[in-house]
A and B are shown apart, each in its own frame.
Chain A
Amino acid sequence: MQRLMRASGIVLLAVLATVGVAVAKPFTPNDDAIVLERLPEKSDPSLAELKRMRAALAANPGDLDNAARVARRSIEAARATGDPRFLGQAQAALSPWWTAVDPPAQAMLLRATLKQSQHDFPGALADLDRLLSVRPADGQALLTRATIFTVQGRYADAQRDCAKLFRLASGLVTTACLAGASSVNGDAAGAYRALTQALARPGESPEVRVWALTLSAEIASRRGDVLAADRNFREALALDSGDAYLQGAYADFLLDQGRAREVAAMLATRTKNDALLLRLALAEQAVPERRSDFAAHRQELADRFAAAKQRGDTLHRREEARFRLEIENDAPAALALAKDNWKVQREAADLRILAAAARASGDAGARKTVADWMAATRIEDVAVVALAEGASR
């Protein structure tokens, strides 16, 4: 579908795009009617509304309620479209409060969320600490802080914040918050059981159910319970088949199961999203008749990582490490990226790429980091265990 749309409108540009930035030459179109660009609101009319809200805010940038609305809608748009430009626009909406020491609570919370999205975890935590010292029962702030603690591997801190949600949020939100930490801290079975029980109760929004089901599927997958994982992923996809994170997690699961063809089919049109393009390329690498697509997507990924590097971006080190290791077979480069990434975030996927890069490069220091982390957190992950055992052979 997306390919058809491109073909109809911007043939010339599409051809040039495949040639690459370095050799592309600017040109003057010969017809005023040629469509050069499709704006996001073309495919999502609600974004036209966001555009109008932004224009209204520009007339009165100090209007906090309006600014918070624009920032929130922009963050949602970034999430839905995977387009980080919306995060920059959210930050712009908050600019009157961006550097203030004590901004109003709603500006502070949105600011922390944006800092989190930039992986500025210390900055986000500083804002949240300050906010929660004034408003200790702010559920949103607690959930955001718990999420950051979980990403950083500070599970006790995360669970303390999650526990405070019991009175402030629904049972499923609280359970998922707790399970996010406990499932990688020695109690995957208990976390999975609690999620299943909470999911059995009706009356929860589809968004929260997708979140909880995806989490369940990932826990099951790490425990090696393939059937349960597949079932949970499919339940989540039935509620929202377009969720980029869910698709990426399901693709990883399918790749582990040797079901690359399904991944190639599912992600064929999701090439705009770097993380999904990586999974697509990994699938195409494993399917012989997809070799030509694989070559093009491999080059596209290399271009995108080069572009990110040029601007000084370090947001996609986990993805790039996997690209270097599994597509470019460059274990030393992958290990360097995985180690840098590990300094910032410590989710299960971060541990796994570190273990894989450590094994491929035979780096004793990184292998010890993985082993120590496994011993300290008692994380259960069949893939990481296999990689760690392989390393000790």
Chain B
Amino acid sequence: MKRLAMMLLAVLMAFPAVAHKPSDAYLTIARDGPGMTGRWDIALRDLDLALGLDANGDGEITWGEVRAKGDSIAALAMHRLLISSGGEKCALRVTGLEVDSHTDGAYAVLTLVGSCPHEGPTLAVEYSLLFDLDPQHRGLLNFVEGGQSHSVVLSAERPRQIVGGEAGGPLSQFAAYVHEGVWHIWLGFDHILFLLSLLLPAVLVRRDGNWQAAPDFKGSFWDVARIVTAFTVAHSITLTLAALGIVSLPSRWVESAIALSVVLAALNNVFPVVARGRWIAAFAFGLLHGFGFAGALQDLGLPTGSLALSLAGFNIGVELGQLAIVAAFLPLAFALRSTWAYRRVVLAGGSAVIVAIAGVWLVERAFDMPLFAALAAG
């Protein structure tokens, strides 16, 4: 008998008799600079599923029962919504609880306020409300910025979406990504240290097993130009390939290899193996660093509407940031090149320090072991 009922169930499910609205939540986020405000409508039935709102079990949810669970509702919501900008998590909190009505019943309405430490061109929204209890649930996100609104659907299959970066026209968008590129190379110490390790010997020449001051600025300039160009060409290639999803490498592998590249580049200054062909090393390792930039760009998110423009902007930003470093480095290093301090303290000592720092990164990244954090905690 029971078997029969089940068999029938299978047949009956084919009929389109299930005809209500499934579980949806309505999320509106409005961004204005680093700050944002939001509103999140979540069905009381869904909150009952997650938190058990119906305290007295009478099958009815009263305003008193909702209010009593206000803190739990806010905690659940904040736990299930992560917004980040420029790869950094934005602070978000619930400031109000009201109710409203939708076509399928009453909803709790949460008012949200947030701010992002880093104002990137886009927001990455990671949504996980109810997916564990009802995988058919959808978050319907309406993102508002600069008077424009844009809707996306967040689902268990696609819980992460990039929004924003479309407002303000192509020029301001391009500028925003240039800014991000500059920002990234300046904050990405591993890239700077790699570049410095290759540049430090550029104002010197290797003669009879010793470093000596380079005779003229022109030679040093072209040495630097070769290295920077090789690095740039290489990382532009891999950044583009990775950003367009043509090639993808595991990020732990990439980050470890980048740390290793810094160790090798700095070691070469202390125990020189490669003297003249450093641009080849710059090119080879530059390919790796490009994958690193791509990882940063992925955190940032590219607007789908203008992928190429934003990608080019980011790349150009990286080059500009890099050129600024070179412009500051080269005259200073050239002026100091004949001093004992430059060769002993800056080149040998500096490189040794870089080897040590990058060595720690290498261990941290390769074994997923935060050494600095462990030291600080101890």
Closest Cβ of chain A to B132, distance in Å, is: 7
By a CB distance below 8 angstroms, the chain B residues around A35 are 60-62
Judge if B45 is at the interface, Cβ distance under 8 Å: yes
* Chain A residue with the shortest CB-CB distance to B131: A92
Judge if A382 is at the interface, Cβ distance under 8 Å: no
By a CB distance below 8 angstroms, the chain A residues around B24 are 307, 310-311
Judge if B100 is at the interface, Cβ distance under 8 Å: yes
Judge if A76 is at the interface, Cβ distance under 8 Å: yes
Interface residues of B in 13-40 (CB under 8 A from A): 13-24, 39
For the complex, count residues of A whose C-beta is within 8 A of B: 86
Chain A interface mostly: helix
Task: Give the 9 A-B CB pairs with smallest separation, nearest first.
Answer: A32-B64, A42-B59, A88-B136, A88-B134, A274-B19, A26-B109, A26-B98, A144-B10, A29-B63
Q: Let me know if B100 and A25 touch, CB within 8 A.
A: yes
By a CB distance below 8 angstroms, the chain B residues around A243 are 17
- Quick one: given A39-B60, A85-B45, A92-B134, are A79 and B99 in contact (CB under 8 Å)? no
Closest Cβ of chain B to A10, distance in Å, is: 7
Q: Let me know if B12 and A39 touch, CB within 8 A.
A: no
Contact of B4 among A28, A173, A311 (CB under 8 A): A173
For the complex, count residues of B whose C-beta is within 8 A of A: 60
Judge if B5 is at the interface, Cβ distance under 8 Å: yes
Q: Let me know if A139 and B7 touch, CB within 8 A.
A: yes
A245-B12, A316-B16 known, 14 other contacts, Cβ within 8 Å:
A26-B98, A27-B99, A29-B63, A32-B63, A35-B62, A36-B44, A85-B49, A147-B11, A151-B14, A170-B4, A243-B17, A248-B17, A304-B21, A311-B22
Closest Cβ of chain A to B61, distance in Å, is: 4
A148-170 vs B: 1/0 string, CB under 8 Å?
10110000000000000000011
Judge if B210 is at the interface, Cβ distance under 8 Å: no
Interface residues of A in 25-47 (CB under 8 A from B): 25-29, 31-39, 41-43
Q: List 25 A-B contacts (CB under 8 A).
A: A13-B106, A27-B100, A28-B98, A28-B99, A32-B63, A36-B62, A38-B61, A75-B13, A76-B9, A79-B18, A82-B18, A83-B18, A89-B134, A92-B134, A139-B3, A140-B3, A140-B6, A140-B7, A173-B7, A208-B4, A244-B17, A244-B19, A276-B19, A308-B21, A313-B22
Judge if B54 is at the interface, Cβ distance under 8 Å: yes
- Using CB atoms and an 8 Å cutoff, list the residues of chain B in contact with chain A: 1, 3-24, 39, 41, 44-46, 48-49, 54, 57-64, 66-67, 98-103, 105-106, 109, 132-138, 140, 151, 153
Q: Let me know if A303 and B20 touch, CB within 8 A.
A: no
Judge if A211 is at the interface, Cβ distance under 8 Å: yes
By a CB distance below 8 angstroms, the chain B residues around A275 are 16-17, 19
